[in-house]
Amino acid sequence: MPMGERKLDVLRAIVEDYVSTQEPVGSKSLVSRHSLGVSAATIRNDMAALEDEGYIHQPHTSAGRVPTNKGYRLFVDRLSKIKPLTGAERRAVHRFLDEAVDLNDVVNRTVRLLAQLTRQVAVVQYPSLSRSSVRHLELVPLSETRLMLVMITDTGRVEQRVIDMPEAVPDTDVLELRQTLNDKLVGVRLTETPMVIQTLVEEASVEVRAAMATLSTVLLETLVERGEERIALAGTANLTRSSLDFSGSLRPILEALEEEVVLLKLLGEVDSGSVLHICIGEENQIDGLDGTSVVSTGYGPAGAIVGGLGVVGPTRMDYPGTISAVRTVARYVSEILAKN
């Protein structure tokens, strides 16, 4: 049975007050703080119904009520207003991210900014190699028999390898190798490069075939076999401000956040696009984090999702403000990647 609008307004008011005060909310405070248009007795009846339905509960006798995870979920699902960043905040975000000098700087600035805006733990995934395409390949002679291979992706990641060649490679051969690599691989998604790389040796001229064979082996290792994903984390100290929200110790949460595989799982659903994902409490299946909420989304240039970002914090979270911050920062990062 759908919840009536008045009861939803009461739940919304309870969530807002509890998030801001961290104190159980009573009917008298709801009457004084909110224009609900009904008496305290009616609000008490609505609160009793909300408690029976599992949306709020009484933490101890003679106390007001606090939202349950079910209550937070309904609040988020029925959220009609997102708290926008102020004009000054948006300008500060844009300016701060626009000053980044390279991809590492973009990611480091983004994760620090998210932690500052939300006062939660921020997590940012570097653009994934598996979702990237080759933008440029460079060969730099270091000696007669040693080359540096530099790969730049369309997401700004730079990978480089020093390669010991089986024999001396003249400068004219280096030029030919560089031209062939770029002709064949620029614009190709990294997941599709193995088939192209396999043809490089077959199509190479006799003069550079041996060198191309060595390069092809290193390319496969660089473009295909490199499976690691990188994660940036900031704001873990923010958890101490919310220590009362977590029953027991913060240690399980901190230990979980130390594992990169856990952080990747937190952002795992961003593959489905730039849709916002919100996991509340036990909806989060990761050990140690079932008492937290996670707000995350994907980012990338021109609508292509190349990574994810988000925040982790207590279930008593400012959801409207957090959602706005995550969305805004993701949009600006996407714009920066599109420019570069």
**Could you report the per-residue pLDDT of 42-99, keeping only the tens digit for each?**
888 999 999 999 999 988 776 789 999 999 999 999 887 788 888 888 888 988 998 8
> Average of pLDDT values for 226-247?
80
Structure tokens at 155: 């997401």
What gap in Å lies between CA 208 and CA 169, rounded to an integer? Answer: 8
**Could you report the per-residue pLDDT of 306-337, keeping only the tens digit for each?**
889 999 999 999 999 999 999 999 999 998 88
Q: Which of 152, 128, 133 is nearest to 190 (CA)?
A: 133
What gap in Å lies between CA 263 and CA 111, rounded to an integer? Answer: 13
The CATH number of 130-224, from 3.30.390.60, 3.30.420.40, 3.30.1300.10, 3.30.479.10, is 3.30.390.60
Cβ neighbors of 192 (< 8 A, separation 6 or more) are none
> Average of pLDDT values for 209-227?
80
Q: Is the pLDDT of residue 1 over 70?
A: no
DSSP 295-307: EEEEE-GGG---E
Please report the pLDDT score of residue 223 as a whole number. Answer: 66
> Coil, strand or helix: which one is 236?
helix
Residue 83 near residue 272, CB atoms below 8 Å: no
Tell me which range, 158-162, 222-226, 241-245, is most confidently predicted by mean pLDDT.
158-162
Residue 148 near residue 140, CB atoms below 8 Å: yes
Straight-line distance from the first to the last Cα atom of the chain, in angstroms, rounded to the nearest whole number: 51
Please report the pLDDT score of residue 169 as a whole number. Answer: 92
What gap in Å lies between CA 221 and CA 217, rounded to an integer? Answer: 7
> Coil, strand or helix: which one is 186?
coil
In this predicted model, which residue has the larger pLDDT, 261 or 167? 167
Residue 120 near residue 311, CB atoms below 8 Å: yes
Structure tokens at 204: 């190479």
**Could you report the per-residue pLDDT of 291-306, keeping only the tens digit for each?**
899 999 999 887 778 8
Tell me which range, 115-119, 198-202, 236-240, is most confidently predicted by mean pLDDT.
115-119
CATH no. for 87-128+229-339: 3.30.450.40
Mean pLDDT taken over the chain: 86
What gap in Å lies between CA 208 and CA 167, rounded to an integer? Answer: 11
In this predicted model, which residue has the larger pLDDT, 271 or 68? 68
Find the helix or strand (DSSP H, E) in which 260 lies.
helix 260-266
Please report the pLDDT score of residue 289 as a whole number. Answer: 85
Residue 319 near residue 79, CB atoms below 8 Å: yes
Please report the pLDDT score of residue 275 as a whole number. Answer: 79
Structure tokens at 186: 């620029």
DSSP 145-179: TEEEEEEEETTS-EEEEEEE-SS---HHHHHHHHH
pTM confidence score: 0.79
Helix 5-21 and helix 69-77: axis angle, to 10°? 110
Would you list the domain boundaries of the chain? 5-77, 87-128+229-339, 130-224
Q: Is the pLDDT of residue 252 over 90?
A: no
Is 5-77 assigned to CATH 1.10.10.10? Answer: yes
In 10 A of CB 210, how many CB atoms?
16
What gap in Å lies between CA 194 and CA 201, rounded to an integer? Answer: 12
Q: Which of 329, 315, 333, 331 is nearest to 70 (CA)?
A: 315
Q: Is the pLDDT of residue 28 over 90?
A: no
| pLDDT band with cut points at 50, 70 and 90 for residue 268 | low
Please report the pLDDT score of residue 157 as a whole number. Answer: 79
Buried b (16+ CB within 10 A) or exposed e, 164-176: ebeeebeeebbeb
